[in-house]
């Protein structure tokens, strides 16, 4: 009772303040003769944000976007977490936003997220330093590095993890474990051990904190995440210091070695910078890749014809190689249907449904002016699931990628890894990890879902129950 008594006046206050701010916004816009994209700025802040969240919480947020697009067109204004935001469901506008990073737009995260990332995080860097770190990351996940160094570990770690699968398996948990181990290997050459397991526990608490938006200050999850971030940083800091001490010894071929040498020109990095960088890579690569692994298996389970064709492709590869031989780059390059499955999973799942930016100056788009300091959201999801850009866009159909004329048309619409200066440096790595994972899963197991599970899209894309399946070793078919 007490609570409602105090809550009510503060809600009124919020509503009143919102209204005043709104009027001010419209007045400024009018004075500067700005033509804003149409939209629902008229709705009170909270109303619109709750509307958006509830849409994304359901199995299918498309009706929300569809309705707005039908009413206002593919670029419209809305409110996200109390801020006026321009929402783009238009591929050209999305590309414009991505390409003009650092000139007209800059990435923008809430303060709560910045605290978790650390102030030297790649995700928060700007300008030349960002350019340098971005290309350093690329040079540690590009295809020649994967081919010559990483593939053998990916193959091995996937295999070892699959060995323990029996009976009921929580696919998302397994995928997370694999991805975490892979990332730690790539970053600092550690094989799975007690240390990595403990690190993973703390690390998962940090990740939870990212999803404590929009009310981080009131959330225990967030407080725990900040603490865990401290522990993760401490553990990584020790690793960095150890490595510095042993400098002069054998040079390891990992990300940490490159960071310690300050590769990419411009001098070395401090320990703190290196730790923040390692945290950024863990954040960016872990949840995304493990979710895409889980969802690929889910979509395949629901599409038996695609699963059968995928099995055939991988059984052929396995038949050429004997039972325990590792996959090689040539094998990866001879998985045409798998690549269709990978693209289609990325298209339908939209793990990163889009990206937030902030305007650095007044920006003209499609005859509208977006005032300086506004948020924009380039929605990949809205484009990927638009019937105008992809035929029968809302069904999982890997065969669509076999039709090269249609694919040529779609490539400019297809941006699961973003674009421009911040395009995901881990895109090739994610593709390889997913392909190798699928190879071993389909050649070793058959499975059925253990219970019904469904997709949700807020705060991130995932399944509600971590996709439990019941696995069975395949009778030696090959």
Q: What are the binding residues for heme? A: 424
Q: Verify binding: residue 116, ligand HEM, rule CB under 6 A.
A: no
Binding residues: 424
Q: Verify binding: residue 123, ligand HEM, rule CB under 6 A.
A: yes
Residues in the interface with ligand NAG (CB under 6 A) total: 15
Q: Verify binding: residue 135, ligand NAG, rule CB under 6 A.
A: no
Residues in the interface with ligand HEM (CB under 6 A) total: 25
Question: Residue 318 or 347: which CB sits closer to ligand HEM?
Answer: 347
Binding partner selected for residue 429 from ligand HEM, ligand NAG, none, CB under the kind-specific 5 to 8 Å limit: ligand HEM
Instruction: Kindly calculate the radius of gyration of the chain based on its CA atoms and give it in whole angstroms.
Output: 23
Q: Verify binding: residue 429, ligand HEM, rule CB under 6 A.
A: yes
Residue 421 CA to its chain's centroid (Å): 16
Q: What residues pair up with 449 in beta bridges, in sequence order?
A: 469
Q: How far is the CB of 435 from ligand NAG (least distance, A)?
A: 11
Q: Which of 49, 74, 88, 288 is in the footprint of ligand HEM by CB under 6 A?
A: 288
Q: Which of 134, 156, 223, 466 is in the footprint of ligand HEM by CB under 6 A?
A: 134
Q: Verify binding: residue 169, ligand HEM, rule CB under 6 A.
A: no
Q: Verify binding: residue 141, ligand NAG, rule CB under 6 A.
A: no
Question: Residue 40 or 142: which CB sits closer to ligand NAG?
Answer: 142
Q: Verify binding: residue 107, ligand HEM, rule CB under 6 A.
A: yes
Segment contacting ligand HEM by CB under 6 A, of 259-267, 316-324, 351-359, 406-414: 351-359
Q: Which of 406, 451, 464, 473 is in the footprint of ligand NAG by CB under 6 A?
A: 406
Binding partner selected for residue 292 from ligand NAG, ligand HEM, none, CB under the kind-specific 5 to 8 Å limit: ligand HEM
Q: Which of 355, 452, 461, 469 is nearest to 86 (CA)?
A: 355
Segment contacting ligand NAG by CB under 6 A, of 34-42, 180-188, 312-320, 408-416: 408-416
Site residues for ligand NAG, 340-369, by CB under 6 A, read: 340, 343
Q: Verify binding: residue 294, ligand HEM, rule CB under 6 A.
A: no
Binding partner selected for residue 425 from ligand NAG, ligand HEM, none, CB under the kind-specific 5 to 8 Å limit: ligand HEM
Q: Verify binding: residue 198, ligand NAG, rule CB under 6 A.
A: no
Q: Which of 116, 426, 435, 438 is in the footprint of ligand HEM by CB under 6 A?
A: 426
Q: Verify binding: residue 118, ligand HEM, rule CB under 6 A.
A: no
> Using CA atoms, how far apart are residues 130 and 421, in angstroms rounded to an integer?
9
Question: Residue 100 or 107: which CB sits closer to ligand HEM?
Answer: 107
Q: Verify binding: residue 108, ligand NAG, rule CB under 6 A.
A: no
Q: Verify binding: residue 143, ligand NAG, rule CB under 6 A.
A: yes
Burial 135-168 (b: 16+ CB within 10 A, else e): bbbbebbebebbbeebbebbbebbbebbeebeee
Q: Give me the residue whose beta carbon is nearest to ligand HEM.
A: 426
Q: Verify binding: residue 411, ligand NAG, rule CB under 6 A.
A: yes
Interface with ligand HEM (CB under 6 A): 107, 122-123, 134, 137, 141, 280-281, 284-285, 288-289, 292, 351-352, 355, 416-418, 422, 424-426, 429-430
Interface with ligand NAG (CB under 6 A): 139, 142-145, 339-340, 343, 401, 405-407, 409, 411, 414
């Amino acid at each position: 009772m007490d609570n409602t008594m105090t809550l009510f006046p503060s809600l009124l206050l919020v509503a009143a303040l919102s209204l005043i701010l709104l009027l001010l916004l419209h007045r400024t816009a009018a004075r500067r003769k700005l033509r804003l994209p149409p939209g629902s700025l008229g709705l009170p802040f909270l109303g619109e944000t709750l509307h958006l969240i509830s849409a994304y919480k359901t199995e299918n947020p498309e009706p929300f976007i569809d309705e707005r697009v039908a009413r206002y067109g593919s670029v419209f204004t809305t409110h996200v977490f109390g801020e006026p935001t321009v929402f783009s469901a238009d591929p050209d506008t999305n590309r414009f936003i991505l390409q003009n990073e650092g000139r007209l737009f800059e990435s923008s995260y809430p303060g709560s997220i910045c605290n978790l990332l650390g102030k030297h995080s790649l995700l928060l860097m700007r300008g030349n330093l960002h350019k340098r770190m971005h290309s350093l990351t690329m040079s540690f996940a590009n295809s020649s590095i994967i081919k010559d160094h990483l593939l053998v570990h990916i193959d091995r770690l996937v295999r070892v993890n699959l060995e323990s699968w029996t009976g009921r398996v929580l696919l998302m948990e397994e995928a997370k474990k694999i991805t975490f181990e892979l990332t730690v290997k790539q970053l600092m050459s550690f094989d799975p051990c007690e240390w990595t397991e403990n690190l993973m526990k703390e690390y998962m608490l940090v990740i939870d904190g990212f999803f404590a938006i929009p009310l981080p200050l009131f959330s225990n999850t967030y407080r725990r995440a900040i603490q865990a971030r401290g522990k993760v940083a401490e553990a990584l800091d020790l690793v960095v210091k150890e490595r510095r001490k042993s400098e002069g010894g054998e040079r390891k071929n990992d990300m940490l070695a490159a960071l310690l040498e300050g590769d990419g020109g411009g001098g070395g990095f401090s320990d703190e910078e290196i730790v923040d960088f390692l945290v950024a890579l863990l954040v960016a690569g872990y949840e995304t890749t493990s979710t895409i692994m889980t969802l690929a298996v889910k979509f395949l389970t629901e599409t038996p014809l695609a699963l059968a064709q995928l099995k055939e492709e991988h059984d052929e590869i396995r038949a050429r190689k004997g039972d325990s031989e590792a996959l090689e780059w040539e094998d990866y390059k001879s998985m045409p249907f798998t690549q269709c499955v990978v693209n289609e999973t990325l298209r339908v799942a939209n793990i990163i449904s889009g990206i937030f930016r902030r305007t650095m100056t007044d920006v003209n788009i499609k005859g509208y002016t977006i005032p300086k300091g506004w948020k924009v959201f380039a929605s990949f999801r809205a484009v990927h699931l638009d019937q105008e850009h992809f035929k029968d866009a809302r069904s999982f159909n890997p065969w669509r990628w076999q039709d090269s004329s249609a694919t040529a048309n779609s490539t400019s619409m297809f941006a699961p890894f973003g674009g421009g200066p911040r395009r995901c440096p881990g895109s090739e790595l994610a593709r390889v990890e997913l392909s190798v994972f699928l190879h071993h899963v389909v050649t070793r197991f058959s499975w059925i879902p253990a219970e019904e599970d469904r997709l949700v899209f807020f705060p991130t894309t995932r399944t509600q129950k971590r996709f439990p399946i019941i696995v069975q070793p395949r009778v030696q078919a090959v």
